């Protein structure tokens, strides 16, 4: 049975929660900022400024579409508006890759803290149990009611972000009179290559900001609500990352163990400001944030898969929605199964949860760079087709594409050590499968492959 999603049920804050949760701002201070410091050193905050400018340019192009049409297919449908069915299939194919690996990264981050918390409680639990638990909760929230899942995302992120903000305030209070960190403000030791590598991590930290667009059929007044949520998520997360990067480096200046060597930097910072009681709450908050990332990615990927099923580009069964809960239950179940299997196999084969998080985060970035580049380039084509193209639109499109070259090159050069050196080839093989699928659809269902460009 094919039915519709629940229409007109999500307000601005619930839509914003989807994008904020997909970005997963709590995970950045814990897992990504140490990597940023290892890459960019005291220029890390500037790398986040560059990342904000890049993603902001992409967001402006994305809103060209979001202000004029809304659907559950998010960027897949936007690509269809610009490039037709062929382009939409390839963008949707890459979007599925990106969202699925974000979801797996969420389960791995969940598992990092799950293992830490269970060990502290002297409970023997295999790491794969963390993957299965996170996937099961995320699936349940997404399956039962989109409002339940988005409200849960809002609450989980609010709790975890509040805890981190409190810690940042304590850091500045502890360093009162010495807030100015000359090494950071003068970019001590920074090099262009270090800044470029840091920019890749900064852009990764903001990936997923667009996932609010996947709620186009369920949001209230979507042509206003979704564009506002997209821009607000980028602005809020960017400011948060710049401040937290600066504060963490400031708080650990002169520490025996440098920031890039710490696996739990917020625990060390809690001790340094005389607030060790915050360590467990912050770890719990990180668990909640990891769960929200997985839930948000599951919501977004399922709706993209559902729309590809509606357009007969993939099996029509993916288009089915639950008659009672009005959620894409077939797509949700399929993707949840992929998360559970891939994540569990990685851990059973001996990959540490932290390393698996890094692996999946890297893999998802390939898909996002392609999708964002396509949307940036397609915005001008879409406006030209509608007779609304202005010079400023061309400038913004060109700027976004040019800025995205930095993470595209930085992801593959210098060549990363194994197994990361193989990841670009794995992604290219996946894209080749998408091309083969497109060719097959052109032969068997040319009307589906052609797609629609109106709207």
Beta strand spans in 119-236 (E)? none
Contact 32, 204 (CB under 8 A): yes
**HEC readout, 124-139:** CCCHHHHHHHHHHHHH
407-432 pLDDT, tens digit each = 888 888 888 889 989 999 999 999 99
Angle formed at CA 305 by CA 302 and CA 310, multiple of 5 degrees: 120
Q: What is the pLDDT of residues 388-411, one digit of tens each?
A: 999 999 999 999 999 999 888 888
pLDDT digits (tens, 9 = 90+) for 139-152: 999 998 777 777 88
pLDDT one-digit tens code per residue, 309-322: 887 778 889 999 99
The answer to whether the beta carbons of residues 90 and 304 sit under 8 Å apart is no
Taking CB atoms within 8 Å and a gap of at least 24, the contacts of 330-336 are 331/301, 331/302, 331/303, 331/305, 331/306, 332/139, 332/142, 332/143, 332/298, 332/302, 333/139, 333/143, 334/305, 335/100, 335/103, 335/298, 335/301, 335/302, 335/305, 336/135, 336/136, 336/138, 336/139, 336/298
- pLDDT, tens digit, 9 for 90 and up, residues 439-454: 877 677 666 555 544 4
**Whole-angstrom distance, CA of residue 438 vs CA of residue 272:** 56
Confidence of residue 1 (pLDDT cuts 50, 70, 90): very low
Q: Which residues contact 166 (CB under 8 A, 6 or more apart)?
A: 278
The fraction of the chain above a pLDDT of 90, given in percent, is 59
Domain assignments of the chain as residue spans, ordered by start: 12-450
d(CA 230, CA 60): 9
Q: Which two tokens stand for residue 32?
A: 């990504």
Hey, what CATH topology would domain 12-450 get?
Amino acid/polyamine transporter I (1.20.1740)
Cα–Cα distance between 215 and 222 in angstroms, integer?
Answer: 8
d(CA 398, CA 131): 40
> What's the pLDDT score for residue 454?
44
Q: What are phi and psi of 234, to 5 degrees?
A: -65, -45
177 CB neighbour count, 10 Å cutoff: 5
Closest Cα partner for 153 from 143, 138, 164, 166?
A: 138
Average pLDDT of the residues of the chain: 90
> Could you report the per-residue pLDDT of 207-235, keeping only the tens digit for each?
989 999 988 889 999 999 999 999 999 99
Q: Return the pLDDT at 403.
A: 95
CA–CA separation, 415 and 333 (whole Å): 36
Residues 134, 104: Cα–Cα separation, whole Å: 10
């Amino acid at each position: 049975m094919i039915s519709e999603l629940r229409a007109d049920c999500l307000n601005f804050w619930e839509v914003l929660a989807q994008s904020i949760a997909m970005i997963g701002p709590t995970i950045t201070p814990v897992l990504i900022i140490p990597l940023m410091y290892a890459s960019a050193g005291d220029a890390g905050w500037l790398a986040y400024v560059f990342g904000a400018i890049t993603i902001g340019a992409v967001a402006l192009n994305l809103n060209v579409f979001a202000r004029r049409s809304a659907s559950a297919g998010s960027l897949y449908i936007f690509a269809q508006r610009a490039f037709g069915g062929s382009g939409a299939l390839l963008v949707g194919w890459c979007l599925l890759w990106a969202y699925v690996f974000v979801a797996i990264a969420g389960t791995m981050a969940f598992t990092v803290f799950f293992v830490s918390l269970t060990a502290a409680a002297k409970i023997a639990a295999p790491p794969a149990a963390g993957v299965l638990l996170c996937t099961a909760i995320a699936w349940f929230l997404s399956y039962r009611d989109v409002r339940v899942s988005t409200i849960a995302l809002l609450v989980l992120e609010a709790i975890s972000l509040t805890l981190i903000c409190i810690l940042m305030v304590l850091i500045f209070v502890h360093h009162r009179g010495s807030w100015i960190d000359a090494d950071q403000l003068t970019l001590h030791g920074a090099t262009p290559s270090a800044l470029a590598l840091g920019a890749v991590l900064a852009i990764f930290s903001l990936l997923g900001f667009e996932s609010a667009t996947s709620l186009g059929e369920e949001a209230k007044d979507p042509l206003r609500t979704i564009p506002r949520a997209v821009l607000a998520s980028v602005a809020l997360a960017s400011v948060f990352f710049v401040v937290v990067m600066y504060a963490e480096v400031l708080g650990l200046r002169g520490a025996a163990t440098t920031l890039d060597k710490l696996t739990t930097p917020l625990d060390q910072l809690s001790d340094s400001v005389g607030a060790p009681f915050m360590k467990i709450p912050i770890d719990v908050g990180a668990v909640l944030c990891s769960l929200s990332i997985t839930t948000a990615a599951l919501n977004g990927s399922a709706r993209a898969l559902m729309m590809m099923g509606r357009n007969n580009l993939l099996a029509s069964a993916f288009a089915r929605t639950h008659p009672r809960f009005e959620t894409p239950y077939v797509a949700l179940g399929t993707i949840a199964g992929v998360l559970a299997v891939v994540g569990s196999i990685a851990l059973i084969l001996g990959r540490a949860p932290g390393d698996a998080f890094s692996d999946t985060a890297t893999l998802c970035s390939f898909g996002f760079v392609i999708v964002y580049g396509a949307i940036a380039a397609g915005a001008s084509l879409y406006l030209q087709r509608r007779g609304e193209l202005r010079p400023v639109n061309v400038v913004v499109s060109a700027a976004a594409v040019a800025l995205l070259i930095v993470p595209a090159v930085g992801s593959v050069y210098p060549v990363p050590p194994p197994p990361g050196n193989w990841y670009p080839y794995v992604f290219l093989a996946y894209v080749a499968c998408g091309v083969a699928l497109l060719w097959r659809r052109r032969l068997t269902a040319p009307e589906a492959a052609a797609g629609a460009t109106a709207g």
